[in-house]
Amino acid sequence: MYVKISIISLFALLLVGGVSTQSMVFGDPAFNVPDKYSPESECSLPDEAITFSLDKDVYQLGDEIKISGQVIPAQSTNLADQSKHNVYVTFPYAKSIFITPSDDRTANAQSSSTYDSDNASSMEQTTSLSILDTTLRIDECGNFETSVKVIPLVFKNGFYVLNIKYQHAEVQTNVFVLDEEMQKGCFKANSFLSESGRCGDYKGDDSDVELSAAPMPEIILTSDKDEYLPGEKVKISGQIKNAIFNDTVELAIESSTASDNNQLNTESVALRGTEPIFTWKYEIPSGASGIGTYSIIANTHLDSVTKTFTVNDESIVTEFAAQKTTESPTLPVKKIIEKHNRITVSQVQISLDEKVSDEQTLLPRVIQGSLFTAARGDESSVNIQITTSAGDCVIGQDSGCAVNDSTRKPGSIYDEVQIDGKNYNVRYSGTDVRLEKFTIIPAESNTQIDMKNWSVSILKDDQPTKFYYKVSYVLLE
């Protein structure tokens, strides 16, 4: 039997077929999987309701996003309940779209619809992503896999949210698309009709023009001054340049003279639009307690940037020092901060000893460090690894390290880690940032760091870096 099909229909089938290839595996329709901890279960099930992985960190146009994972299958006696057999894969929206020379500065297709939690792909200005929605059939052990073609017109350079839903459980991750030719504006709306789909590819004709890539997204962060007096207000402003942005900027103020956790104030600002701007005001504490060096940190999925300012008032410092000498000449020193700056070697040993001042013994309480990578683009290949004298990896990218990624989560900035039988709060900025930072402090208040020797390795090739660290010694009561 012969079937006649038009060219238009053929192209439609190719387009849909290129978008998503489902893996259909049929098992027992009731999915009566034994309890995962029972000896009769033949399935090795995950601890979480949904686990999954992607095959790459960065995709180009023409690539396939290969998604594989597993869910804990829900037991069902209702054969009509298809939701227990299916996993739903969607790309609900783009967190950022990079602006390119040929971009019309809109985030995918325009729409008057609003976000619908039951259909994540219906968010305003991202409705063209709805053609990527995929329903997958799980097998008897909950496994699933699929692939999504990164095609022009649907995908642009930027970060997209990938959402996977099973029953009432949902997980999300970012998918990063970065195509060098696309950044030059070299994919046109009719690219599928050309030989290669790339601008300027005209078989080497003299009329060909070499195009330059558009600038990458950038976070601009400024303050109205670099130096302030105690009690003044700091006017902070910023902008997400070269991107259509739809995410949150996490802002924080940190001070070198603050308490142990070093966190003074935070703010979350939701931004949406083309090259959006943001503002924030911070009031510096009055008196001598406000004096010091402050850091403003702006953190997004694109990057993290830091701006510093100082607070100083010579009259307050002099008056405070004189008052301390005349009124309380025997007042003991309660805190000493030992700083080490601009270290360029790859191996650094940190040894913690006691400090004696005015016949008082101060003990190590906090270790803080930061690694600055000078060359842009090398952030992901330059990282910190911190181990104890016993060889235990506390922070690093190896699977055996206690902390691998950023510890910043909703309502928390630390991970609790046990080191040599004692619990510590560990804070880490994560990798792929120009200023990689960490803090290690005992979880129990008014206790010292028992581990006296630490090893810091700067994992890199020949990239120029500068490592800074400081140890706070305090008078424990």
What backbone torsions phi and psi does residue 111 show, to the nearest 5 degrees?
-155, 150
- 217-331, CATH topology level: Immunoglobulin-like (2.60.40)
Using a pLDDT cut of 90, give the percent of the chain over it: 39
State the CB neighbour count (10 A cutoff) for residue 149: 19
Position 199 confidence tier, pLDDT thresholds 50, 70, 90: low
Q: What is the CATH code of the structural domain delimited by 333-477?
A: 2.60.120
Cα(247)–Cα(268) distance, rounded to whole angstroms? 10
Residue type, 102: S
Residue 365: pLDDT above 60?
A: yes
Between residues 221 and 35, which one has the greater pLDDT?
Answer: 221
Please state which of the ranges 299-308, 392-401, 410-419 shows the lowest mean pLDDT.
Answer: 410-419
Extract the tokens encoding 41: 């279960």
Query: What is the pLDDT, as a whole number, of residue 223?
Result: 94
pLDDT recorded at residue 157: 92
Nearest to 474 by CA among 341, 369, 332, 349: 332
Q: Higher model confidence: residue 41 or residue 286?
A: 286
Residue 135 near residue 144, CB atoms below 8 Å: no
- Look at residue 39 and tell me whether its pLDDT is greater than 80: no
Return d(Cα 437, Cα 430) in angstroms, integer: 8
The pLDDT of residue 260 is 43
3-state secondary structure of 84: helix
Alpha helices in 20-63 (DSSP H): none
Query: Which one has a higher pLDDT value, 380 or 235?
Result: 235
Higher model confidence: residue 374 or residue 360?
A: 360
Q: First vs last Cα of the chain: how many Å apart?
A: 91
Q: 267 — phi, psi (to 5°)?
A: -150, 140
List where CATH 2.60.120 sits in the chain.
333-477
- Residue 161: pLDDT above 50? yes
Name the average pLDDT for the chain: 77
Task: Render pLDDT for 218-253 as a digit per residue (tens, 0 to 9).
Answer: 999 999 998 898 889 999 999 999 999 999 999 999
pLDDT digits (tens, 9 = 90+) for 72-113: 998 766 667 778 889 999 999 999 999 987 655 555 443 333
Question: Which tens digit of pLDDT belongs to each residue from 330-359?
Answer: 556 678 888 888 888 999 999 998 888 777
Q: Would you state the structure tokens that stand for residue 375, as one six-digit string?
A: 């060359």
Q: What is the pLDDT of residue 462?
A: 83
Q: What is the pLDDT of residue 103?
A: 59
At 359, list the tokens. Answer: 């016949």
pLDDT at 11 over 50: no
Higher pLDDT, 213 or 327: 213
User: What are the angstrom distances between the C-alpha of 399 and each of 69, 394, 419?
Assistant: 19, 11, 16
CATH 2.60.40.1930 domain range(s) in the chain: 20-193, 217-331
Other CB atoms within a 10 A radius of the CB of residue 173 amount to 13
Range of lowest pLDDT (165-169, 277-281, 302-306, 430-434): 430-434
What is the architecture of the domain spanning 20-193?
Sandwich (2.60)
Beta strands in 315-403 (DSSP E): 335-343, 347-351, 355-357, 360-373, 383-388, 393-395
Q: What is the mean pLDDT of residues 138-157?
A: 91
Q: Which residue has the higher pLDDT, 360 or 127?
A: 360
State the chain's maximal CA–CA distance in angstroms. 106
Whether 320 has a pLDDT exceeding 70, the answer reads no
Distances (CA, A) of 8 to 2, 11, 14, 195, 448: 18, 5, 10, 18, 73
Q: Cα separation of 151 and 179, whole Å? A: 11
Residues 441-462, mean pLDDT to the nearest whole number: 90
d(CA 382, CA 458): 7
Residues 98, 105: Cα–Cα separation, whole Å: 9
**Pairing mode, strands 292-299 and 243-255:** antiparallel
To the nearest whole percent, how much of the chain has pLDDT over 70?
73
Report d(CA 219, CA 346) in Å as an integer: 29
pLDDT over 90 at 174, yes or no: yes
Residue range 184-207: mean pLDDT, rounded: 50
456-462 average pLDDT score: 89
What's the CA angle centered on 281, arms 291 and 245, to 5 degrees? 130
Give me the mean pLDDT over the 279-305 stretch: 88
Residue 328's pLDDT band (boundaries 50, 70, 90)? Answer: very low
Considering only 192-206, 228-242, 458-472, which range has the smallest mean pLDDT?
192-206
